[in-house]
Amino acid sequence: MNPGRRFKDEIYDQFSRIGKAVSSPKRLELLDILCQGERSVENLANETSLTIANTSQHLQVLKNSRLVEQEKKGLYVVYRPAPMVCEFFLSMRKIAENRIAEIEQIKNRFLEGKKGMEPINRDSLIERIKNNEVTILDVRPPQEFRAGHIIGAVSVPLKELELMLAKLPKKKEIVAYCRGPYCVLSVEAVELLNKKGYHAVRLEEGVMDWRAMGLPVISGE
């Protein structure tokens, strides 16, 4: 075989490892969650409705393709995305959104008839956050909030929301967000809040989108 041809075949074969690794819907979901913050296998299995064994197998494929890294912390092994992987995931998501019409159709069907799901004017929201005119709720799990959140947001995980209702202002608009446009935590939060008499809307973008737009994200409590 021509050396140049062999070189190109070998190079593209290595590139294809990434494509094979992300060809599974569940592995894409795992990457999406890991881009919110490092997680254990057990936690990821619970989030994705997979068995621990299946989750471990998917993570091993991602690890073999150098898309995730692992570290032992106490009794648990935690996984995190490798450098540049979240940017890659976001770019892939945007290409899919622009090229595959079914994505928008599926999203619209799911959100149809749900109050408070209309897109929010981002510039207006940023100004209102600065002026303390809205309450921003981060309804993701606490470890994701600690890994990074929108400035001014309050951590109220969805599972705790009903218990926290009495502490939320009814006269101020509430904006809930989670992991991005395909995360259902904020959808459920907004539905619950509006049912209980609050004025709540959903921010479609998550922390990964916020960061990609150059908007401020902070970590910690």
For 104, the token pair is 């928008």
Label the pairing between strands 76-81 and 68-73.
Answer: antiparallel
Looking at the chain, the domain(s) classified CATH 3.40.250.10 span 113-218
Question: Under CATH, which number does the domain 113-218 receive?
Answer: 3.40.250.10
Looking at the chain, the domain(s) classified CATH 1.10.10.10 span 3-87
DSSP-derived secondary structure for 176-187: EE-SSTT-SHHH
Q: Which fold has domain 3-87?
A: Arc Repressor Mutant, subunit A (1.10.10)
pTM: 0.90
Q: Give the pLDDT of the chain (221 residues) as one tens digit per residue.
A: 799 999 999 999 999 999 999 999 999 999 999 999 999 999 999 999 999 999 999 999 999 999 999 999 888 899 999 999 999 999 999 999 999 999 999 999 999 999 989 888 888 888 888 888 899 999 999 999 999 999 889 999 999 999 999 999 888 999 999 999 999 999 999 999 999 999 999 999 999 999 999 988 998 87
Q: Distance (Å, rounded) from C-alpha 148 to C-alpha 122?
A: 19
Catalytic annotation, pick one of 35, 86, 178, 183: 178
Q: Distance (Å, rounded) from C-alpha 125 to C-alpha 173?
A: 11
User: Helices in 22-114 by DSSP H: which ranges?
Assistant: 25-34, 41-48, 52-64, 85-99, 101-111
Q: What 3-state DSSP class applies to 123?
A: helix
Q: Which of 39, 76, 73 is CA-nearest to residue 59?
A: 39
Question: Residue 80, exposed/middle/buried by CB under 10 A (0-12, 13-18, 19+)?
Answer: middle
Does 178 qualify as catalytic in the annotation? yes
Q: In angstroms, what CA-CA distances link 8 with 3, 5, 22, 107, 127?
A: 9, 5, 22, 40, 51
